[in-house]
Structure 1
Amino acid sequence: MTDDPLAAMLDLTPGSDDSMPRAARDGAGTLDASSPRIVSISDIHGYLDAARSALAAVGDHPDFDPLVETDGDGRLHWVGGDESVLVFNGDLVDRGPDNAAVVDLVERLAREAPPGHVRVTLGNHEWGVLFQDLVGWDSWFSGRRTDDDRRRLCEAIADGHVVAAYDGHAFTYAHAGRVSDYDAARLNDRLVEAATELRDAIGTDDDEATQKRLVDEYREVLGIGRGGGRAFGAGIAWLDFQFLSESAPPQIVGHTRQQQAVQKGNVVCENVIRANLETPGGEGVLVETDEEVVALERRGNGSVRKRELEIPDGE
């Protein structure tokens, strides 16, 4: 499947003006299931086949019931019930060949799962849809989104379907993370404020100026950081993993490429798809419950290995 350059961007609730209840928007603790397992995947970047393989790894390991099932056309469908949450931890698009199909996958699972059980955090490449004039990614999927697509993403944020951060059990999920303590609900409120302002400016003469102002005023959420991105001063969608110390808040992040999920003190980085594209296997997900956090990683022969990670002390 190849990209449709006119494909929409995260139209998660077509035909409905229903917003996500705030509690469900910000964390798993208020969902109907008392302690849902949380499956997370980051940095798909338009590589649909790797994403399918990673998500199917949950059911391909004997210790875990499946999260998705594959139909006759190869499409994934939700079978996780209300006992699972799936977090797409940013950077759904750009770089790979199947960006529109990845967006379609996220939309489909979000509609099939119970409300609040598929969550999307804002990655820097979703950020690129909103702030096109600040990065100039014209050759990428994000840079080719229309003004209507940009407004639609703003609306998805305003309705609570795309967030800056999401509280799990011991960990908070964010695309790039923060060095110091933060409150997911507050950052999500700040993101909503910024997206609402941007939505009203898109397509007007004030569009580019508004983009620049919002990135500066909401830098903890939207800031790029020094040197054009990823360094000190970067917000929760942009900060590089190297700047997160072992004592940073307990977080599961993506953004910085790894060959396997890497834990540094309180922080786990799960961005593995792109680093493993050249060889069979390597793609995977994290699974967090109130008792453990594990990486499920596809081997080159198609089997799945389970690797235990550490829950931070005191959690």
Structure 2
Amino acid sequence: MPIKIPDQLPASNVLRNENIFVMSETRAATQEIRPLKVLILNLMPKKIETETQFLRLLSNSPLQVDVELLRIDDRPSKNTPTEHLDTFYRQFETIKDRNFDGLIITGAPLGLVQFEDVIYWEHLQTIMNWANKHVTSTLYVCWAAQAGLKLLFDLPKKTRKEKLSGVYHHTIQHQYHPLLRGFDDSFLAPHSRYADFSPEYLESHTDLDILATSDVAGVYLAATKDKRNVFVTGHPEYDSHTLHGEYVRDLGEGMEPAIPVNYYPNNNPDNKPIASWRSHGHLLFANWLNYCVYQQTPYDLEHFSADAFTTDE
């Protein structure tokens, strides 16, 4: 089954050219299927690129997914045309009285900014609190994972001395957890962050299930017992060129960044990078949609109740 997105969204043509099954709103309106309602709160500057990356991963499922895009505020964007934002993105006030099957909160380039200095921090907290009562499962990605841990567990911001950038080996820690079904014992995933997530720290300060870790990158995947909050500290949605774009950007800004680890063939930035994490990313999102969203959400979202969820797997 496909994802359902607006007819004219730029990602539509990109995904179709990649032979990914997408369905227009017009065609979907003729089907008598209750699609999953998934909201994406896009905090990244290059919104068109980011929305395409997440839509690509959401497409790898037998479920029909009705995606809506949410922006954090109405400030002008330097990287996304105003017409695009006005056409395809919603303000929180227009959806706050509705329920959703899933919510994805993307990363944001705020790794060195204190939470209280983030201009939309209070509004983001409002949305995260709203999700606890209106969303079956929320997926927090990279910086959003750090923000979610602050909100749900009051964990302070922990920042690395140097940026973590590259593709790292991870090992699964909870073999039979639904989110890990089909995973190899070891897999690759990209990271691009300053945040620090050590297994020991999360184990001693939370009751999260620690699902996948790296000796270098720390915790990669964790979830609450009821699977209603899932934290991904890396970027499984990244395209093969995304880390390269960040590296070139940082070079241009005179930051002298380290070459992303395990990314360029022969560790040479002149070589074209190869995506070694794509299959894992698709499987992770398919598992989240199936086991954390579809298998738990009510058929009638009007009857959504946060008290109805259990921790049974």
Q: TM-score, normalised by structure 2?
A: 0.34
Query: Where is the strand percentage greater, Structure 1 or Structure 2?
Result: 2
Greater RCO (CA < 8 Å, at least 6 residues apart): 1
Q: TM-score, normalised by structure 1?
A: 0.34
